[in-house]
Structure 1
Amino acid sequence: MSASRSVTVKLLDKEYTISCPDGAEAELLASADYLNEKMRDIRNTGKIVGLERIAVMAALNMSHELMKNKEEQRHVVEMNLRRISNKIDRALNDKKG
Structure 2
Amino acid sequence: MTSARSVTVRLLDKEYTISCPDGAEAELLASADYLNDKMREIRSTGKIVGLERIAVMAALNMSHELLKSKEHNRHTIEDQLRRIGAKIDHSLQRIDRDD
Using the size of structure 2 for normalisation, the TM-score is 0.98
Alignment of 1:1-97 (within 5 A): 1-97=1-97
Instruction: Give secondary structure in 2 for the equivalent of 1:15.
Output: strand
Distance (whole Å) between structure 1 residues aligned to residue 20 and residue 66 of structure 2: 22
Q: CA shift at 1:50, angstroms?
A: 0.1
Give ranges in structure 1 of 5+ residues lacking alignment: none
What whole-Å deviation, never above 9, does each CA across 1:44-74 have from its counterpart, x for those lacking one?
Answer: 0000000000000000000000000000000
Instruction: Give secondary structure in 1 for the equivalent of 2:47.
Output: coil
Distance (whole Å) between structure 1 residues aligned to residue 67 and residue 40 of structure 2: 22
AA paired with 1:61? N
Using the size of structure 1 for normalisation, the TM-score is 1.00
Distance (whole Å) between structure 2 residues aligned to residue 11 and residue 46 of structure 1: 17
What whole-Å deviation, never above 9, does each CA across 1:68-87 have from its counterpart, x for those lacking one?
Answer: 00000000000000000000
Q: Provide the aligned C-alpha RMSD in A.
A: 0.2
Give ranges in structure 2 of 5+ residues lacking alignment: none
* Identity value in percent: 75
Equivalent pairs, count: 97
AA paired with 1:86? A
Distance (whole Å) between structure 1 residues aligned to residue 92 and residue 3 of structure 2: 54
